[in-house]
Structure 1
Amino acid sequence: MHESESVISAVERHSKKNGLYLIFIDGAYAFTVHEDVLIKHRLLKGERVDPDRLRAALEDEELQKAWSDALRQVGRRPRSEKEVRQYLKRRTYEPPIVDRVVTRLKEHKYLDDADFAAQWTEQRIYSQKKGRRWVKQELQQKGVAPATIQEALDQVPVDEEERLAFELGQKKWKLTSGGILDKKRKTAAFLMRRGYSSAIVSKAVRRIAELAPDERRGEDEDPDMWDWPDA
């Protein structure tokens, strides 16, 4: 046997984690590997292994761990590529490992920023009734490319966003005290904070005010209340 070679003296199943094996070299515990790594590198009892072979096995084991961690992340909810990269970095995986895992996720269609942006936009706008300014900012924070964000937002018709803003504004209006001007201001500010544009807010609040029964009319309206710039 070459001086640099060692012998795998035992291979034992992990007592608590399925699919993992404990590798003993020259009578002492050396490391734990996934079954796939065990098979790929033929880490069997009695096998002679040199440092290069062991190093390759450990690199593949690190890759396997990163892959498993990434799968758990994307399995909980859709993720952007930036989110996955940040998560793996926090798990202290090296950049080359992160790059390989991200590439593999894309190849298996587990990671796709276009699909992620579309799902995120639909959920935020239709389920949470957030305006597109809010959604755009969130997607920017998640590292989605501007063109991909715009493509997702373009799938939502403006009249649908107007309808949702109107419905949300009506609920706010009914819960707001004060005269009609107070209600207009508070409802408009509420919708702006939800990420709706000033144009959509203006249209929604005017319509809500027109349809509101038994409201006091004739109050002076602030001429600047609809001139708020979009963020």
Structure 2
Amino acid sequence: MNEKGLSVNDAIKKLEYYCSYQDRCYKEVISKLKSLGMYQTAIDHILNHLAENSFLNEERFAKSFARGKHKFKYWGKRRIEQELKFRDISTYNIKTALKEIETDYLSNFYALAEKKWQSITEPSLEKKKHKWVDFLMRKGYESNLIFEYLRELEKESF
């Protein structure tokens, strides 16, 4: 039992469900266990159980996180890498995860950049460029990619 009256077996069942409907990282699972009032020895035991039974897999989490954020939120590599580091994902798993998005990366970047460029109605070209660059930087795209494409857009505009 823990301080909230939850047994280790009950916590295991709860966390198996928590990890089965969405991939989780260790940091999220530890936070959840602490919110349930579990002691450190119980947390260690539960983490081992979840990892041994494939409920918790850092590489799988990193890959699905990268695919999802790139496909649905159009995040760039820098933003994905930053978010994975925040979740204490290893450098190896971050690199593996970023390989997952390589095939669609440039086409998604160009589609997003083009759509954003068309949607900015700023009359001042300098302000429009600034807003566009800021948007793509916040999304986590590399500055060299952004400025190369900006030069192409400027050539087309004139």
TM-score range, shorter chain: 0.7 to 0.9
Aligned to 1:175: 119
Q: 1:76 — aligned with what? A: 21
Give the TM-score normalised by the residue count of structure 2: 0.87
The one of 48, 65, 68 aligned to 1:123: 68
Change in 2 beyond 3 A, CA 1:207/1:162: farther
TM-score computed with the length of structure 1 as normaliser: 0.61
Distance 2:66 2:114 in 1: 23
Counterparts of 1:208 and 1:170 in 2: how far apart (Å)? 9
Q: Which aligned pairs between 1:81-96 and structure 2 lie closer than 5 A?
A: 81-96=26-41
1:66 aligns with 2:19: no
Task: Render the CA deviation track for 1:121-141: whole Å, top value 9, x for unaligned.
Answer: 011112211011111111111
Query: Which amino acid letter does the alignment assign opposite residue 146 of structure 1?
Result: T
Structure 1, unpaired ranges of 5+: 1-57, 218-231
Amino acid paired to 2:114: Q
Provide runs of 4+ in structure 1 moved above 6 Å. Answer: none
String of CA shifts for 1:31-61, please: whole Å, max 9, x gaps.
xxxxxxxxxxxxxxxxxxxxxxxxxxx69x7
- Assess, with a 3 A threshold, how the Cα gap between structure 1 residues 81 and 125 changes in structure 2: closer, same or farther: same
Relative contact order higher in (CA < 8 Å, ≥ 6 apart): 2
Kindly provide the amino acid, as one letter, of the partner of residue 48 in structure 2.
T
* 3-state SS in 1 of match to 2:140: coil
Mapping of residues 214-229 of structure 1, within 5 Å: 215=157, 217=158
CA RMSD of aligned residues (A): 2.0
For the residue of structure 1 that corresponds to 2:7, the secondary structure is helix
More strand by share: 1
CA distance in 1, matches of 2:93, 2:79: 16
Alignment size in residue pairs: 154
Q: Is the 8 A contact 1:184 1:209 kept in 2?
A: no
Contact 1:135 1:195 (C-alpha < 8 Å) held by counterparts: yes
> What percentage of residue pairs aligned between the two structures are identical?
23
- Deviation string 1:76-99 (CA, Å, 9 cap, x unpaired) is 321001210111012110111111
Alpha-carbon distance between aligned partners in 2 of 1:150 and 1:126, rounded to the nearest angstrom: 17
- What is aligned with 1:190? 135
- Amino acid across the alignment from 2:71: Y
Question: Where is the helix percentage greater, Structure 1 or Structure 2?
Answer: 2
Alignment of 1:33-72 (within 5 A): 62-72=7-17
